[in-house]
Structure 1
Amino acid sequence: MQGYACQEEPQNVEEWQEQQAGSAPEEMRENDEQWTLLQRYLRRPLNLNTATAEELQELGILLPEQVSQLLEHRKTLGPLIAIYELQAIKGFDMPTIRRLLPYVSAGNAFIEQIPFRNYWTEGKHSLQLRYARTWDGPGRSLFPTAEKPPAYIGGPDKLTLRYRYSMGRHMGWGLVLEKDAGESWLRKSAVPLPDHVGFHWVVRRPGLLKTLVLGDYTINFGQGLIQWHGMAPGKGSSVLYFKREGETLRPYAGAGEFYFYRGVASTLVLRKSEITSWLSARALDGRVKPSEADTTETFGSILSAGYHRSISELEARGEIRQFTVGASWKRRWRAGHVAFNAQGQHFSVPLQRGDDGYRLFRFQGDRLLEASVDHAFNWRNVHFFGEAARGSTGHWAMTQGWLAALSSAADAGMVWRTGAPGFVGMYGAPFGTTGLAGNEQGCYGALQWRVHPALVAAGYVDVFGFPWLRYRVSAPSKGTDALISLQWNPSRHAMVQATYRYTEKMQDVQLEGAMEKVLMQQRGHQVQMRCEFPLSPVLTWRARAQCQLLAPSGTWIAMQQWNWRSGKWKGSCSHAWYDGGAGLGMYLSGLGFPGDGTVARFSGIGWYLRCQAQRNFGDRWSAWCSWQFSRSRAPVQTLSEWRKGALIEGRSTVQLQVQYEWGRHE
């Protein structure tokens, strides 16, 4: 099956990214590893007859119960004869099978044995170059011009160069170079280098040493209370995708500059046990200041954005050294596993929490030790999972959940979570409202019902609370989040989905004429419609409409997209209209480079146009290009703005990507 560089993101991933951008934009992570993995399986599908539990979980499509049932089916009845034999396995329905089809196969159960000496020469090389630039718009005054000093010292060009070698899952290495817009080129020995340079080398072998990684890597374990570098989906219409799953150790080849470790890590297999250990030394961005005017002692604060565009951002570059050591021991049984995890952090300068009231329980100091125990096991038709963690700060966090197949047509799940205000989890990403384990308590329940083979109803209710203050919330608070969704698949490639979401939360609000902000309850209503219909073998039409009411303002956005494919060409054209109230924004995912997790924010009143195309030149070359244009005006908020007239701004963005592949095996 031919893979395309402009393959669309899975719908559940797009929806989760948009929801996260609206609720916690500071937690967005620049990581396209999941998309890269699916692209690899497009070219060389995953064999369901030989795939391990970890490989099936990494797809991000199957629930834990479905993975368990598939493995049990293989063990009891032998290899699958055809992909549609999945319909005979408990928990597999046609929508799930359709999502799997592009990435899996049901071929021979033969496992190819490749000599280690061939790992170095029999693999596939890939070289990718990306370029992006934006013209006009509100950001034009930030870059250097002849008339005025720049706010950013570099030009508006964004460049990314990525080289990867892979011998299937057996061995690989890669190099990533990236310069963000506004950043300048670094010069060492008169050789210009981009701002971010990353490298990794990985080898996987059956036997004692399962995985060894040198360079950049990610660590994911448990339910993300203290450590989860990878993608961590949250609440959305795919209501049962709330369990954290994936390999503990993975090489990192993303362009994000914060959520990874750098050093050496390995996984050893001893019968039914796995031991993963890691050692990392990194230079983090941070601001270092003297603790008092007449002392030499200093303290620091970490910056996670990864930008080095202005003088102050450059001064913070690599100012804080971080040393990390950790280990995870996992014992497996037929019904599940239990794991013990521990991790220690040491910083070159003590971190300080700040003076704001909501920061009272934040971590400060130069040493942090965290430990947790996690579990997952099956009992009849129920899958239980959870994690409990404690840090050297003395505070606890815990999450416990279950997934159950109530019948052949109904599935349900629940997650209960609690975290003390002082619990840290610096690299944590648990399921919840904020994506952080500390200072949050809640209970989430979800139900999915296959009313008909072509109709699925789903919904969730999440009741949560925050024991301590939060940013822009000046007192302990509570909230509610509920969603109901209906999805109809009249044919294999057609889909219609309707979703309603209700939110209720507390936030500080500045009332007209008041001197201070008042904590008030805010209620939000959101209605969304999505549809997709193939009009011909070469043309598909997609549409989406969304409106949101967050008193006293409302927003709406409507978008349609035409996807086409002809021979070696593939492309799309999309157009959107939007109208947003003061201070409100709407988010659309997948508007940047393929798989990079870009989420665009639209505010004010205006329209948006995007055209993109991709072509494969033989089996080795492919080119992708995109042009975007948006034109908007901010909503009038004061009498003075009304008299002056609306300020209309337009912004145009061009993105280009060229990829060259050579070698033998994927």
Structure 2
Amino acid sequence: MSYFLMVTSFAQEVPKKEIDLEDFIERVFPIQEQDLDYEAIYEVLFQLYQNPIDINEANAEILQATYLLKPYQIESILNYRQQFGPFLSLYELQAIPEIGLEDLLRLAPFLQLGKGKSENPKDFFSRIPDANQAYLLFRHRRTWERRRGFTPADTSSSGRVSSRYLGDPNEIYIRMRLQKTRDFSFGFTLEKDAGEQFVWDRSTNRIGFNFYSFHLAKYNLGKWKNITLGDFQAAFGQGLVFGAGFILGKGAETVSTVRRSSVGILPYTAALEFGFFRGLGATYQFNRDVKATIIASRVPRDGRLQNSLDSLLEESGSFSSINQSGLHRTNSEIATKNQLKETSLGVNLEYSRKSFSGGLNFLSVNFDRPWQPTPRPYNQFDFKGDQNQNASTYFNYNWKNFFAFGEAAISTSGGTGIVAGIIGSLRKEVSMSILYRNYDRDFHSFYSNAFSESTRPNNERGIYLGLELNPIKKWKLNLHYDFFKFPWLRFRAYAPSNGYEWLSRLTFRPGKTLTTFIQIRQEQKERNISDTGESQLGYQLAPLNRINGLWNLDKQLSTRLFIRSRIMWSKIKFNENESYGFLILQDIKLHMDRWRLTGRISLFDTDDYDARLYAFESNVLWTFSIPAFSGRGIRYYLLAQYQVHPRLTLYMRIARTSFSDRKEVSSGLQTIQGNNQTDTHFLVKYDLFK
């Protein structure tokens, strides 16, 4: 009787506030120290959060994939559901002592209330208007100062004509998406980058837009849990074979993000032109415990062909590198477009029962031309040839408040990769993580995104320790320490080397409207003292020590007005030389009925590029921005969102950087004469059904 009264008191659903993607991204993303394109990571995570989890069906694996729950909270949810049955309202989560109102409001955008398997009494076309997402999106982006690549070509004294971009400086992006959770998903993406031509020329593999992507997915069709045609990604185990293009790890969230989750087949919706399958991906559920996934893909890749005249030294028709930028602006870049075909066949077999899940992965990747990288001191054990196979086995096991996980893989070369760890809650106030990895120098896996210090999981050994403490309700301390070794040479380190990294973040939240934290991170890696690139020289290594500090204050002044103040600094020491960097920024966000305005002004001063600083920036919908601040200057931007109609939303952003230490910006064909760079983004989103 008491239980009936308790659940019937939850009469209304939890108000689902808009997801604070900026806070989420800064918390779970790795600390930026490279000019990486994080769009693929963002896209995959955004898909996960645009498909709310059924709280009545989710197991520990699925709940952990949110990165929003502590191990003890996951265990409490599962125990509560087992004892009292399915949740009747999301508000019922408050009946769990470990889930407070603040946790509930944070989780609400990512949860839904289900009652078992979805039922679709309507025919397919009648269900389309019920789609969770149904929109058409158009985005334009441009830098308004003229880059060197868009100037008239000149001729050198030797008669050589300089290279220039063939297209205009406008970037055009179009996306359409129709999706109903656990039912269907359809979408396409079209893109032309700045400098690329909109041209129909089959001889150079260019047909209108430079990049096309599409997918069609059907879910829960009898025992077929997922059938996807077109472009997609896959994530199984800890990412040694199937990594789904994204990796979290050593960010300010020091515990939950070290573990990967087997989310299976995901439609590919990003505009990056590398790292996805194109073909068929399907998952079949044999029974409650066993399911299998098959992958068949054939996709063109950009590659640079060898230009050797000596067929005895280099195999005819081989390629030396894969172009992952997706840019085709000059004749040289166009010459790489679709120069090789990649055929992939993969299988996953997974067993899941109660608190245990495990599986087997196999992936075969074949190129129609052999890969022969240009010899360098550090790449002697890199992949060579025209085919590679990977096989792995993985497991996940949860016991009370602890999750153990691991994966072991091998490639055709005989190189192996191993990653294993545990995350858990020692008590409500203490959570921890431990992760060990060991990747051979000749371990090759093209679709892996396992936890690693390097961009690829090979030539690395390490152990990571993470800790989160909540000693007092308003205080939180995050810590991690990672020690790693590189047994073989690597880029800019032509000898075996090692290093370490530690991070500490102390957060204080005295109330719902004020949050402040201070963060310090130190990393040390060894680097060549002599960096001429000539392998015959005797290289010596010296430690490069990098320290970054950050102080942040967030204040919600009213329901409409929010401000953020932040100070960042860096110190770099290498071979007895020191350099420093400093950045101060101020944000303001204002909501006014149909308008949403976000503005920022930043002042920065760094001694050199090594001392650069990164800061996440708000941008138009589904557009990612983490610029590097180097040199001396000021940067500011204004982002405006206007709801014209319930179905029509406009976004406009203008950003400008003014340098005081230079007379030209960037280098090569990207060079701008002058000390200013002005960028605009314009986006229109039209909801098809509302």
1:280 equivalent in structure 2: 297
Name the counterpart of 2:516: 496
CA distance in 1, matches of 2:68, 2:44: 11
Indicate the residue corresponding to 2:638 in structure 1.
Answer: 611
Paired position in structure 2 for 1:245: 261
Within a 5 Å distance, the mapping from 1:395-434 to structure 2 comes to 395-434=415-454
Is the contact made by 1:569 and 1:613 (CA closer than 8 Å) also made in structure 2? Answer: yes
1:477 and 2:497 correspond: yes
Q: Is the 8 A contact 1:31 1:230 kept in 2?
A: yes
Deviation of residue 629 (structure 1)? 0.6
1:281-339 CA-to-partner distances (Å, cap 9, x unmatched) read 01000011255525672211212111111111100000011000000000011012010
Whether the aligned pair in 2 keeps the contact of 1:560 and 1:575 (CA below 8 Å) is yes
Is the CA contact 1:12–1:237 (under 8 Å) kept in the aligned structure 2? no
- Residue matched to 1:527: 549
> Unpaired segments of 5 or more residues in structure 2?
1-14, 156-161, 664-672
State the 1:217 CA deviation.
0.5
Secondary structure of 1:536's aligned partner: coil
1:472 aligned partner, one-letter code: R
Letter matched to residue 124 of structure 2: N
Aligned to 1:233: 248
Q: Do the aligned partners of 1:532 and 1:543 also contact (CA within 8 Å) in 2?
A: yes
- Measured at CA, do residues 578 and 95 of structure 1 come closer, stay the same or move farther in structure 2, by a change above 3 Å? farther
Report how far residue 68 of structure 1 moved.
4.5
TM score, norm. by length of structure 2: 0.87
In structure 1, how many angstroms separate the alpha carbons of the residues matched to 2:62 and 2:28? 22
Q: Quote the residue 1:436 is aligned against.
A: 456
Of the structure 1 ranges 456-465 and 515-524, higher mean CA displacement relative to structure 2 is found in 515-524
Give distance in 2, aligned partners of 1:77 and 1:566: 43
Alignment deviations for residues 234-268 of structure 1 (CA, whole Å, 9 cap, x no partner): 20111012111241111111111102100011000
CA displacement 1:338-360 (0-9 Å, x = unmatched): 10000001101111133111101
Report how far residue 227 of structure 1 moved. Answer: 2.3
Q: What is the alpha-carbon distance in structure 2 between the residues aligned to residue 401 and residue 377 of structure 1? A: 11
Kindly tell me the number of residue pairs found equivalent between the two proteins. 643
Q: State the one-letter code of the partner of 1:161.
A: I
Q: Check if 1:19 corresponds to 2:38.
A: no
- Distance 1:543-1:510 versus aligned 2 partners, 3 A rule: farther
Matched residue type, 2:143: T
Q: Which residue of 2 aligns with 1:597?
A: 624
Aligned equivalents of 2:647, 2:634: Cα separation in 1: 37
* 1:168 alignment counterpart: 181
Equivalent AA in structure 2 for residue 613 of structure 1: A
**Aligned equivalent of 1:221:** 236
Unmatched tracts of structure 1, length 5 or more: 637-646
Matched, 1:544 2:566: yes
The equivalent position to 1:625 in structure 2, one of 652, 655, 667, is: 652
Taking a change above 3 Å as real, the CA distance of residues 389 and 64 of structure 1, as seen in their structure-2 partners, is farther
- In structure 2, the partner of 1:643 is none
Distance 1:476 1:151 in 2: 41
Say whether the 8 Å CA contact 1:219–1:250 is kept in structure 2: yes
- Residue in structure 2 matched with residue 259 of structure 1 by the alignment: 275
Tell me whether 1:103 sits opposite 2:110 in the alignment: yes
Q: 1:127: which partner in 2?
A: 136
Letter in 2 for 1:659: K
Which amino acid is the alignment partner of residue 606 of structure 1?
G
Partner of 1:642 in structure 2? none
Report the CA distance between 1:483 and its aligned residue.
Answer: 1.0
Identity value in percent: 25
Aligned residues of 1:275 and 1:328 also touching (Cα < 8 A): yes
For 2:258, the aligned partner's letter is F
Q: CA RMSD in A?
A: 2.9
Partner of 1:559 in structure 2? 585
Task: Work out whether residues 49 and 109 of structure 1, in 8 Å CA contact, stay in contact via their aligned partners in 2.
Answer: yes
One-letter amino acid of the structure 2 residue matched with residue 267 of structure 1: T
Which whole-Å CA distance do the structure 2 matches of 1:155 and 1:72 have between them? Answer: 59
Structure 1 residue aligned with 2:317: 298
Partner in structure 2 of residue 181 of structure 1: 194
Q: Displacement of 1:114 after TM fit? A: 1.5
Letter in 2 for 1:560: Q
Cα 1:401–1:325, aligned 2, differ >3 Å: closer, same or farther? same
The 1-side partners of 2:686 and 2:37 are apart by 33
Letter in structure 2 aligned against 1:297: S
Structure 1's 93 and 444: CA in aligned 2 closer, same or farther, altered over 3 A?
farther
Matched, 1:342 2:362: yes
Q: Is the 8 A contact 2:568 2:613 kept in 1?
A: no
Report the TM-score, using the length of structure 1 for normalisation: 0.90
Take 1:257 and 1:635, find their aligned partners in 2: how far apart are those partners?
A: 34
Preserved contact between residue 291 and residue 298 of structure 1 (Cα < 8 Å): no
Q: Is the 8 A contact 2:128 2:178 kept in 1?
A: no
Q: 1:27 to 1:65 in 2, by over 3 A?
A: farther
CA contact (8 A) 2:232 2:268 kept: yes
Shift of the 548–557 alpha-carbon distance from structure 1 to 2, 3 Å rule, reads same
Indicate how the Cα distance of structure 1 residues 110 and 270 shifts in structure 2: closer, same or farther if over 3 A, else same: closer
Structure with the greater relative contact order (CA < 8 A, sep ≥ 6): 1 or 2?
Answer: 1
Partners in 2 of 1:299 and 1:38 — Cα distance?
A: 39
CA contact (8 A) 1:400 1:417 kept: yes
Q: Distance in 2 between matches of 1:34 and 1:238?
A: 18
